[in-house]
Structure 1
Amino acid sequence: MTKKSGVFDVDFDGLLPIETKKKNKKKDIESRTIDNALEIVIRQMIASGYRKRTTDDYRRIVSNFEKAQGIKYLSEITMETIYNWLDKMNVANQTKLTRLKSLKSFLSKCFNNGWYETKFWASINVKVDKKIKQGTKPSDIDLLLSLLDLKTFVGLRDATAILTMYKTGIRINTLGQLEEKHIDFNEGVLKLDGDVLKNHKYLKLPLDNQLLHLYKVLIQQNNKVRNYYHEDNSFIFISYKGKSLNTKSTNNAISKQLTKYSKKYGLKNINAHAIRRAYAKNLLKKGANLALISKALGHSNLEVTTQYLDLDVDEVAENLRNYL
């Protein structure tokens, strides 16, 4: 078969440059209002799985900044307006820092959307003298557990909750959302899906025989309570009337019980966050490395984990002595 000359030959000198319309970022931020940018950013956050409490904080803080400075457009957000906003706040530096972080995070999302050319806000900071937050002493946890009456529903529930936080390090709001489906009795682990964790990532945490036994007893008691009050749920920690414990709140019934026990028995540092720190410290003392502790706590980075493990001067001296 003879190839027909010229039919498949292409006179080609290369692609012509494709003309693209360059976006004028300066013009964009001059015409884009802060309210418009905020609504877009919040929709993006919701689509990415951010919790409502987080988006509500963004809306409140950015709107407060906008109103306090009397500005309307993105172009009006400058280092000067940010510093002026901070200077006018009659609050502690730690509160200023928290609000600043939210504003900077919002601005970074604006940068990612192409509305700013530089992150001019990156160098703005608030100096805070960080106090070392102590973890609960193991001896105080032992004492509290010895004072609880495990033959009562509330005593059994609270003791199981305290041990769950101390032996797994989960947050108080995750504790309130635990269901029977999260406990694998055969494997001896908590299987936590992203819906109940702050970082939305799946996590498995080991359980010892003591906790597994307590869960079995508590679940049996829960069923009796729910049946009596005609409640239908599968939560591990419920109220004495069989209802959920305001599942996603950090100030649920368990948290309130810890405050009550702290006052009643004169125990210092008995709260959910301190117990979580005690869990981290306990892992460190047993030889766990920082990366493993960070993963167990569900932290987004190691910097947060190191704050959990801050040692006071006596602990530093004691630990350094081991290297002499």
Structure 2
Amino acid sequence: MKRRGSVTNVTAQRTLEAITTKELPVTNYQNAVKEFLRHCRIKGLSPETVKFYDKELKQTGRAFAEINTPLSDIRKIKTAQIESFIEQQQSLNRAINTINSRLRAGRTFFNFCLRKGYVDSNPYEGIQQLRKRHEVGATFSKRQLKLLLNAPDVTTFIGLRDLAIMLTFAHTGIRLTELTSLRIKDVSFDEKGAINIQQAKNRYARRIPLTKRLREVLKAYIQERGVWIPTFYL
């Protein structure tokens, strides 16, 4: 009997295609977001990063609903819907930074969906971040900064605390979240002294040397709190 080199029967060909073609699972937007956030936590992303994704993807979902984007099946969310989302956000006078944050979150989320096989392409591909004109923000003059740092009453605990906070900002340039996460053990007075930033935004700890004045103020503040500092550090 002569062996056939290919399937010629139309019905048989369609059956073969149905068997070999893997259909994407139907997943709605809300469930996919929940799974993505769970993935972020398991991956070990910082709570602030997970909170960022949660907030921006929820806001994006609400906007999608307002422009009738099909949320019951994320396979149906295409680039055209992302462009409509941008136009809708602009019509609401959302800040460029806000829109760009939601675009970044959405792109990362759909990359996850692509890896999971929920979509066959990322609808954010080809979508560019909105351009923003960069301007130099207002800053304190040396005179203003001096007046500000001289304002706290250092004869009181609150005044000493406020000065320690302001000096730390002024002399190190650390972020607010980094300062609020500082612990006594993160401040070192050996040699010239340093602050060890453990909760950095990029998850890489770093060490910032202390200036002479900041070292003196931090020592006074920590001692006022009742924490013992070895005499060889004084």
The alignment's TM-score, normalised by the length of structure 1, stands at 0.55
Cα-to-partner distance string for 1:37-77 (whole Å, 9 max, x where unaligned): 21111111112223152243144234324422341211111
Residue from 102, 106, 112 that aligns with 2:105:
102
CA shift for structure 1 position 208: 2.1
Distance 2:34 2:21 in 1: 21
> In structure 1, what is the Cα distance between the partners aligned to 2:55 and 2:81?
20
1:22 and 1:143 map into 2 onto residues whose CA distance is: 75
**Cα deviations across residues 2-53 of structure 1 (Å, max 9, x unaligned)?**
xxxxxxxxxxxxxxxxxxx9783xx316x12222221111111112223152
Contact 2:195 2:209 in 1 (8 A): yes
CA-CA distance at 1:207 after TM superposition: 1.0
Separation in structure 2 between the aligned mates of residue 40 and residue 65 of structure 1, nearest angstrom: 20
Which residue of structure 1 aligns with residue 35 of structure 2?
40
Change (3 A) 1:186 1:107: same
The answer to whether the 8 Å contact 1:164/1:211 transfers is yes
Structure 2 residue matching 1:147: 3-state secondary structure: coil
Q: Deviations over 1:253-289 (max 9, x none)?
A: xxxxxxxxxxxxxxxxxxxxxxxxxxxxxxxxxxxxx
Unaligned residue ranges in structure 1 (runs of 5+): 1-20, 225-324
Work out the percentage of aligned pairs sharing the same amino acid: 22
In the TM superposition, residue 161 of structure 1 has moved relative to its aligned partner by: 0.9
- In the other structure, the counterpart of 1:320 is none
**1:37–1:153 Cα change, 3 Å:** same
| Distance change in 2, residues 1:135/1:104 (3 Å) | farther
- 1:164-175 matches, within 5 Å, as 164-175=168-179
Residue 186 of structure 2 contacts residue 196 of structure 2 at CA under 8 Å; is this kept in 1? yes
1:60/1:205 Cα in 2 relative to 1: closer, same or farther (>3 Å)? same
Q: Distance in 2 between matches of 1:136 and 1:22?
A: 67
CA contact (8 A) 1:34 1:66 kept: no
- Alignment partner, residue 94 of structure 2: 92
Kindly provide the amino acid, as one letter, of the partner of residue 133 in structure 2.
Answer: D
Aligned ranges 1:219-298 → 2 under 5 Å: 219-223=222-226
Which residue of structure 2 lines up, in the alignment, with residue 160 of structure 1? 164
Structure-2-length-normalised TM-score:
0.73
Residue 144 of structure 1 aligns to a residue in which SS? Answer: helix
- Give the alignment of 1:130-169 within 5 angstroms: 130-169=134-173
CA drift at 1:213: 1.5
Residue aligned with 1:190, SS: strand
- 1:81 and 1:66 mapped to 2: Cα distance? 8
Partner of 1:74: 74
The letter for the 2-side match of 1:189 is A
Q: Which of 194, 200, 219 does residue 189 from structure 1 map onto?
A: 194
Matched residues in 2 for 1:164 and 1:179: separation?
A: 13
Asked whether the 8 Å contact 1:61–1:102 carries over to 2, the reply is no
Q: How big is the shift at 1:82?
A: 1.2
Change over 3 Å in CA distance of 1:93–1:180 after alignment to 2: closer
Aligned-residue offset at 1:137: 3.3
Residue 218 of structure 2, aligned match among 208, 215, 226: 215
Task: Please state how far the C-alpha of 1:182 moved relative to its aligned partner.
Answer: 0.3
Residues 66 and 156 of structure 1: CA distance in aligned 2, closer, same or farther (over 3 Å): same
**Cα distance between partner residues in 1 of 2:219 and 2:20:** 64
**22 and 163 in structure 1: CA distance in 2 versus 1, 3 angstrom threshold:** farther
Tell me how large the CA RMSD over aligned residues is: 2.5
How many residues matched? 199
Residues 22 and 189 of structure 1: CA distance in aligned 2, closer, same or farther (over 3 Å): farther
The answer as to whether partners of 1:79 and 1:120 remain within 8 angstroms in 2 is yes
**What runs of 5+ residues in structure 2 fail to find an aligned partner?**
1-18, 228-234
Query: Runs of 4+ in structure 1 displaced over 6 angstroms?
Result: none
Structure 1, residues 157-208: CA drift from partner, whole Å, max 9, x if none? 1111111112211111221221110011114111222xx2222222111112
User: Relative to 1, partners in 2 of residues 1:106 and 1:129: Cα closer, same or farther, differing over 3 Å?
Assistant: same
